[in-house]
Amino acid sequence: MTTGTLTAGRTRFRLPRKQIPVLATLALLLVMYGIGVSQYTAFSNVQVIFNVFIDNGFLLVVAVGMTFVILTGGIDLSVGSVVAMTAMVSAALLQDGMPAALVLVIALLIGPTLGLLMGCVIHFFEIQPFIVTLAGMFFARGMCTFISGASIPITDGFWTSMSQERIGNPQGNFVSISVLIAFVVVVIAAYTLAYTRLGRNVYAIGGNPQSALLMGLPVGRTRIAVYTISGLCSAIGGILLSFYTLSGAPLIGVGMELDVIAAVVIGGTVLTGGAGYVFGTVLGVLVLGVIQTLITFDGSLNSWWTKIVIGGLLFAFILLQRLIGIRYK
């Protein structure tokens, strides 16, 4: 009797609303690529796409970490500085003659440690993530200049080989090791979010932290974990960046956190948390990369156009999310 009426209680339509932002990003990416191919013959070369990955591998890794944080409804402003600090520390330690393996371990520990600390402050003292990670950002940036006021070149054999190694096909198209590492990170992250309790808790907390707590989920532990993960991703990103530039520069990656946030949001992750995918973040990073490539191909446009276009896209995507009302009431 009542079963019929109750099942009819579904009010919203059945389209996979959650996927709409990701699909929109995918469509946008295809359109931009289409424009590129139609305008510039060289654009159709597969290497153009590979280069986008090569140039943005570190950004992708950092964005994956940011996706975790934003999915819980948080934000991590420290990522750009942590990337720079990791690169600086690596460069400085290598300059001092420390073995590469040890440098890698140390460099990869710094980011997560800072993330863990920030996560603990956010959780235990109930402080806004914005302000805590802002402090982390200043701290890490300050540490960069503390280590050295000037750029430190890296001449270590392992680093240069990682930098120059090309994995390619006989046609001469290739990617760097960094791209492979980034892909491994993406796959692990996607798996974690979709199939592990940690991942599902991330979504639950983003959906409704109060409910998550009352459902008995480890809210505190998960929250601390996402900032640690973001720190780890920033550290990996920093290593990849140092592979890419073969140096550590105190002012590199200033404002990178904002690019990363933009990429994550354009990739369809909702800033208030609870909805989004790592795959979307990959698309978001690609959108950013393809815009840059298009502007480079044009040659006559100022590189600031990249920012202008990203700004416009961000507006569009935030509005799109709002219109879809992806956060079910």
Choose one: 100-108, 210-218, 225-233, 302-310; the region binding other proteins (CB under 8 A).
Answer: 210-218
Q: In the range 257-316, which residues lie near other proteins by CB under 8 A? A: 274-275
Q: Which is nearer to other proteins, 6 or 101 (CB)?
A: 6
Structural tokens at position 20: 């709409």
Rounded distance between C-alpha atoms, residue 69 and residue 64, angstroms: 9
273: CB partners within 8 A, 6+ apart: 70, 71, 72, 73, 74, 205, 206, 207
Choose one: 84-92, 209-217, 228-236, 303-311; the region binding other proteins (CB under 8 A).
Answer: 209-217
Structural tokens at position 229: 């993960």
User: Cα-atom radius of gyration of the chain, to the nearest Å?
Assistant: 21
> Any contact of residue 203 with other proteins (CB under 8 A)?
yes
> Any contact of residue 7 with other proteins (CB under 8 A)?
yes
> Any contact of residue 74 with other proteins (CB under 8 A)?
no
Q: Which is nearer to other proteins, 100 or 213 (CB)?
A: 213
Structural contact between residues 116 and 224, judged by C-beta atoms closer than 8 angstroms: yes
Rounded distance between C-alpha atoms, residue 114 and residue 282, angstroms: 25
**Binding pattern for the stretch 17-36 against other proteins, x by CB under 8 A and - elsewhere:** -x------------------
Q: Are strands 174-176 and 166-168 parallel, antiparallel or unpaired?
A: antiparallel
Which of residues 212, 229, 265, 310 is near other proteins by CB under 8 A? 212
> Any contact of residue 322 with other proteins (CB under 8 A)?
no
DSSP state string for 8-20:
TT--S--S-GGGH
Q: Which is nearer to other proteins, 57 or 73 (CB)?
A: 73
Q: What is the DSSP letter of 267?
A: T
> Any contact of residue 169 with other proteins (CB under 8 A)?
no
Q: What is the dihedral of CA 10, 14, 18, 22, to 10 degrees?
A: -170
Which of residues 130, 138, 195, 315 is near other proteins by CB under 8 A? 195
Choose one: 8-16, 27-35, 113-121, 168-176; the region binding other proteins (CB under 8 A).
Answer: 8-16
Structural contact between residues 101 and 206, judged by C-beta atoms closer than 8 angstroms: no
> Any contact of residue 149 with other proteins (CB under 8 A)?
no
Strand (E) positions, the chain? 152-153, 166-168, 174-176, 247-248
Which of residues 30, 196, 315, 319 is near other proteins by CB under 8 A? 196
Query: What is the smallest separation between the CB atom of 73 and other proteins, expressed in angstroms?
Result: 11
Q: What is the DSSP letter of 168?
A: E
Residues at the contact surface with other proteins, assessed by CB under 8 A: 2-3, 5-7, 9-12, 14, 18, 191, 194-197, 200-201, 203-204, 206-208, 210-212, 214-217, 274-275, 326-329
